[in-house]
Chains A and B, each alone.
Chain A
Amino acid sequence: DTGVSQDPRHKITKRGQNVTFRCDPISEHNRLYWYRQTLGQGPEFLTYFQNEAQLEKSRLLSDRFSAERPKGSFSTLEIQRTEQGDSAMYLCASSSTGGQFFGPGTRLTVL
């Protein structure tokens, strides 16, 4: 399968714990995006990488959130000291030009 993959698909954690998600983009895509989506809403932009450089970060992204893309390949999104409001679907997408191709998402539940 040459699509975008995300791991894990589901994560249940307790409030205050740290979590890390991984995204493997389509191999030839140099652009990678992270989004958060809650029920009934469209994806909300979190951050953007071009190769290994993080070029854009949403003002909504608190300092508890950090993302990396070492070597311009896979990316990780870490949430520290999780809160119940962080419960959502976290989506990764990649592109070369034009439209984005999304992964299946990681559903996070914070108890």
Chain B
Amino acid sequence: EDQVTQSPEALRLQEGESSSLNCSYTVSGLRGLFWYRQDPGKGPEFLFTLYSAGEEKEKERLKATLTKKESFLHITAPKPEDSATYLCAVQATDNFNKFYFGSGTKLNVKP
């Protein structure tokens, strides 16, 4: 069964302390991997799409990378406003109609 696992469940960082979030997946074939940011009480906000192993995308302090079995979201010198839950989702090649989400990593950046 297709599955997405995110780790850690929660992460507390000091402002400026860089770290990485992990998203591992098991799908028959990967069509795309997506990262989202979700603030409390709001819908997820689209960040990145990655399609093939070795691909990287950057936006401000965030950088997403992809291997054949997992993706990392690197956060460089985070600020308190980066505090949110980060979700990843995958779309499989054998069914374009569905997206499978992980449970997310809740990031808390302390000033």
The secondary structure that dominates the B interface is strand
Contacts of B99 in A (CB 8 A): 33, 45, 100
**How many whole Å from B37's CB to the nearest CB in chain A?**
11
Q: Name the distance in Å between B95's Cβ and chain A's nearest Cβ.
A: 8
Contact residues on B (Cβ < 8 Å of other chain), bracket: 20 to 34
**Closest chain B residue to A3, Cβ basis:** B43
B44 nearest CB across to chain A (Å): 5
> Which residues of B in the span 23-72 have a Cβ within 8 Å of any Cβ on A?
32, 34, 36, 41-46, 48-49
Q: Which of B43, B48, B49, B95 contacts A104 (CB 8 A)?
A: B43
- Using a CB–CB distance below 8 Å, which chain A residues touch chain B? 4, 33, 35, 40-45, 48, 50, 55-56, 58, 91, 93, 98-105, 107
Closest 5 CB pairs of A and B: A42-B101, A102-B43, A56-B97, A99-B46, A48-B97
